[in-house]
């Protein structure tokens, strides 16, 4: 029951008790007064009528008495008038039967009034003519009392309604801060921290609001402090101090993740090497050599901002590395452009005019060995060195037959969509008790040679050709129509960047949510941290839509190097973090970073799912850390659905 209803009930009870007391007291007092008034009126009328009869020439004349009696009866309040002679015989009498009109029976039973009578001796000179008796009916008293009661009740009703309205307005104004407090509590539940700027003047409410503001401020402070701690340890763990790019550990972790996951990167790894860097440092010193490193890092960072490459890092003192999902021509063109910009920028640096670069490229394929990849790139760099400065050497390792050029890719993607050669595979995320928590779905395609092509091989080109949304729609269709899906386990779908950038698939997505809700299929909708950070407004709206249909919303591949403010803007149920990242953060010198991560996720009620679990050792370490949901090839590979 709301506070208004409780106070309204209390006020209503007080009004009712007060009304009963006043009405009953007033009826008792008025009834007694009216009874006395009836007696007085009856006696006065009897005396007046007796005097009138005494003054008649013939006091016992029936006609004259009839006129006088009728005059009294015309008032309508008398039921009987009788003149009795000295001998006891009635000289003249008149009576009538009166009904009480307009007064309910319950009121007559509530207020007991008796008929009043009056009598007087009628004299004729010194001779007694007789005795006059008169009875007056209480009907007019009942009527006046009832009308007074009705009037009083109307006034009470009017006052009650007015008081309720005033009470509602007053409570709405006075309790507005409490409504804000409730909104603050709801906001905290939704991972948002809102401060009340308008402090009420009511002392009790002021204390509540100030206490709530203090609590929100502390929670926000805890979140901010832990985020800074996490960012600081992330910088120590994965960032190169000189350039601000990722370090060797960062790239190897990303490479391992890409190679171990079923949804892994299909592309290439590139290393750009500065020729004779140690000689340059010995000749010109650390300041000049560090300046060279910064120049090359800035160029790579600019291209990375244009999304030409991803996961850029300073791999060694004289090497920079990055991963790319683009095809051979795009990566080669990117490196050529980088070499040209580098040479142009060094034209103004006399000490660096003779600096040369080399590039080695090795194709990546899921399941490959990292050691073999690094060996291949080292071989490519050696080969490039023999060919001269600013040379590029590539070693292809993929066995997949893929289109070459955008026109061929477009035709291939259109045929795949038209011929329904896309299919789903699923990989379970399980709890420590081996209970399935969700099944993440990945899209695959078959080429004309019946080879299975992972999404990482064709999705980057589909995105560049504006066809990523068509593939998303096909995924929605497959989820809705596939009768082989085990719908008892929640299905995890990863949305592409095109879904957030274009509005064309919104209707199909809403239909998917509705269909899954109707057939009791739980969905776990997710997208990468990078994509969600690029579209925070759309992320918030999508979170509301997903939760409205009783599904879950999560972040795939949470990047601890990016801002975690996104966790507050959306209502996330879970985040997926690479198992290697969690393992590195749990080391003794980095343990505070992991604790900061757990504080943030626990504060926001967000579940952690470790992905890319590839060994029993990693599994045991994650269990020791308190991670209770994991996913990876060691726990079960992806299977066709």
Instruction: Identify the pLDDT of residue 190.
Output: 65
Residue 12 lies in a domain: no
Task: Provide the token pair at 321.
Answer: 């590395």
User: For the chain, what is the mean pLDDT?
Assistant: 82
Q: If pLDDT is split at 50, 70 and 90, which confidence band does 308 have? A: very low
Task: Provide the token pair at 613.
Answer: 């679990």
Taken in order 416, 365, 466, 541, is the CA torsion positive or negative?
positive
Query: Which is higher by pLDDT, 505 or 165?
Result: 165
Q: If pLDDT is split at 50, 70 and 90, which confidence band does 97 have? A: low
Query: Which is higher by pLDDT, 190 or 307?
Result: 190
Q: If pLDDT is split at 50, 70 and 90, which confidence band does 414 have? A: very high
Same domain membership, residue 206 and residue 346:
no
Q: If pLDDT is split at 50, 70 and 90, which confidence band does 60 have? A: low
Residue 417 lies in a domain: yes
Structural contact between residues 94 and 80, judged by C-beta atoms closer than 8 angstroms: yes
Quote the pTM value.
0.66
Alpha-carbon distance of 190 to 544, in angstroms, equals 10
Instruction: Identify the pLDDT of residue 307.
Output: 47
Give the count of domains, the chain. 4
Query: Which is higher by pLDDT, 463 or 236?
Result: 463
- The closest alpha carbon to 578, from 557, 553, 601, belongs to 557
Residue 165 lies in a domain: no
Instruction: Identify the pLDDT of residue 122.
Output: 76
Instruction: Identify the pLDDT of residue 53.
Output: 74
Instruction: Identify the pLDDT of residue 630.
Output: 94
Same domain membership, residue 509 and residue 546:
yes
Same domain membership, residue 255 and residue 232:
no
Residue 562 has phi, psi (to 5 degrees) of: -95, 165
Residue 20 lies in a domain: no
Instruction: Identify the pLDDT of residue 59.
Output: 54
Percent of the chain predicted with pLDDT > 70: 91
Alpha-carbon distance of 353 to 343, in angstroms, equals 8
Same domain membership, residue 147 and residue 225:
no
Q: Return the top range by mean pLDDT from 180-184, 362-366, 427-431.
A: 427-431
21-50: pLDDT as tens digits: 887 787 777 777 777 777 787 777 778 777
Average pLDDT over residues 502-509: 82
Same domain membership, residue 129 and residue 233:
no
Query: Which is higher by pLDDT, 478 or 404?
Result: 478
Residue 503 reports pLDDT greater than 70? yes
Q: Which of 212, 237, 262 is a domain's end point?
A: 237
Residue 1 lies in a domain: no
Residue carrying structure tokens 């140690």: 278
Same domain membership, residue 387 and residue 293:
yes
Residue 243 reports pLDDT greater than 80? yes
Residue 415 reports pLDDT greater than 60? yes
336-361: pLDDT as tens digits: 989 999 988 888 777 787 889 999 99
Residue 230 lies in a domain: yes
Residue 556 lies in a domain: yes
Structural contact between residues 80 and 133, judged by C-beta atoms closer than 8 angstroms: yes
Same domain membership, residue 460 and residue 556:
yes
Strand residue runs (E) in 226-309: 268-274
125-158: pLDDT as tens digits: 677 778 888 887 777 777 777 888 888 888 888 8
Same domain membership, residue 532 and residue 484:
yes
- DSSP annotation of 352: G
Same domain membership, residue 456 and residue 365:
no
State the CATH number of the domain containing residue 127.
Answer: 3.30.450
Residue 430 reports pLDDT greater than 90? yes
Instruction: Identify the pLDDT of residue 99.
Output: 64
Q: Which of 127, 160, 193 is a domain's end point?
A: 160
Residue 11 reports pLDDT greater than 90? no
Instruction: Identify the pLDDT of residue 424.
Output: 92
Same domain membership, residue 42 and residue 112:
yes
Torsion of CA 268, 333, 399, 387, to 10 degrees: -90
Alpha-carbon distance of 239 to 270, in angstroms, equals 19
Residue 174 lies in a domain: no
Same domain membership, residue 471 and residue 362:
no
Q: Beta 392-395 vs 422-431: how paired, if at all?
A: unpaired
578-629: pLDDT as tens digits: 888 888 777 765 677 788 888 888 878 899 999 988 889 889 989 988 899 9
Same domain membership, residue 360 and residue 460:
no
State the CATH number of the domain containing residue 320.
Answer: 3.30.70.270
Domain span at residue 213 reads: 180-237
């Amino acid at each position: 029951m709301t506070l208004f209803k409780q106070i309204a009930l209390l006020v209503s009870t007080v009004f009712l008790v007060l009304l009963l007391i006043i009405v009953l007291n007033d009826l008792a007092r008025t009834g007694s007064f009216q009874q006395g008034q009836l007696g007085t009126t009856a006696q006065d009328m009897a005396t007046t009528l007796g005097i009138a009869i005494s003054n008649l020439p013939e006091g016992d004349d029936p006609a004259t008495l009839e006129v006088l009696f009728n005059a009294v009866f015309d008032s309508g309040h008398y039921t009987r008038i009788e003149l009795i002679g000295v001998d006891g015989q009635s000289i003249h009498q008149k009576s009538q039967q009166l009904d009480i009109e307009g007064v309910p029976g319950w009121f007559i039973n509530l207020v007991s009034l008796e008929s009043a009578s009056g009598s007087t001796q009628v004299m004729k000179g010194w001779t007694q003519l007789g005795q006059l008796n008169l009875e007056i009916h209480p009907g007019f008293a009942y009527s006046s009392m009832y009308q007074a009661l009705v009037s009083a009740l109307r006034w009470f009703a009017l006052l009650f309604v007015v008081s309720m309205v005033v009470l509602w307005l007053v409570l709405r104004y006075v309790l507005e801060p409490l409504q804000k407090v409730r909104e603050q509590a709801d906001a905290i539940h939704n991972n948002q921290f809102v401060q009340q700027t308008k402090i009420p003047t009511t002392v009790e409410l002021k204390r509540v609001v100030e206490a709530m503001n203090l609590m929100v401020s502390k929670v926000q402070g805890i979140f901010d402090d832990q985020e800074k701690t996490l960012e600081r340890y992330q910088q120590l763990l994965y960032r190169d101090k000189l350039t601000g790019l990722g370090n060797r550990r960062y790239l190897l972790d990303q490479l391992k993740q890409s190679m171990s996951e079923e949804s892994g990167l299909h592309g290439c790894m590139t290393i750009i090497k500065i020729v004779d860097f140690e000689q340059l440092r010995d000749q010109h010193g650390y300041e000049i050599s560090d300046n060279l490193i910064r120049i090359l890092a800035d160029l790579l960072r600019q291209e990375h901002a244009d999304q030409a490459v991803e996961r850029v890092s300073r791999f060694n003192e004289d090497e920079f590395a990055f991963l790319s999902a683009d095809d051979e021509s795009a990566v080669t063109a990117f490196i050529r452009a980088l070499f040209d910009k580098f040479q142009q920028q060094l034209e103004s640096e006399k000490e660096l005019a003779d600096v040369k670069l080399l590039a080695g490229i090795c194709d990546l394929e899921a399941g490959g060995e990292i050691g073999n990849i690094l060996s291949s790139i080292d071989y490519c760099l050696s080969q490039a060195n023999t060919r001269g400065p600013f040379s590029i050497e590539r070693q292809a390792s993929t066995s997949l037959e893929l289109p070459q050029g955008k026109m061929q890719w477009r035709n291939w993607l259109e045929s795949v969509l038209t011929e329904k050669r896309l299919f789903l595979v699923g990989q379970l995320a399980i709890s420590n008790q081996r209970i399935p928590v969700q099944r993440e779905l990945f899209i695959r395609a078959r080429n004309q040679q019946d080879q299975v092509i992972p999404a990482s091989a064709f999705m980057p080109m589909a995105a560049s050709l504006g066809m990523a949304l068509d593939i998303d729609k096909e995924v929605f269709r497959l989820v809705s129509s596939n009768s082989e899906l085990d719908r008892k386990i929640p299905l995890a779908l990863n949305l592409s960047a095109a879904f957030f950038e274009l509005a064309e698939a919104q209707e199909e997505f809403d239909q998917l949510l509705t269909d899954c809700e109707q057939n009791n299929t739980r969905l776990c909708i997710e997208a990468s941290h990078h994509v969600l950070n690029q579209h925070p407004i759309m992320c918030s709206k999508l979170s509301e839509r997903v939760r409205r249909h009783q599904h879950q919303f999560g972040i795939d591949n949470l990047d601890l190097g990016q801002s975690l403010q996104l966790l507050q803007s959306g209502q996330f149920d879970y985040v997926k973090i690479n198992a290697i990242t969690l393992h590195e953060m749990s080391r003794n010198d980095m343990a505070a970073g992991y604790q900061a991560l757990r504080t943030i996720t626990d504060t926001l009620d967000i579940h952690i799912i470790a992905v890319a679990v590839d060994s029993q050792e990693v599994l045991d370490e994650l269990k020791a850390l308190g991670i209770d949901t994991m996913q990876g090839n060691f726990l079960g590979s992806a299977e066709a659905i």
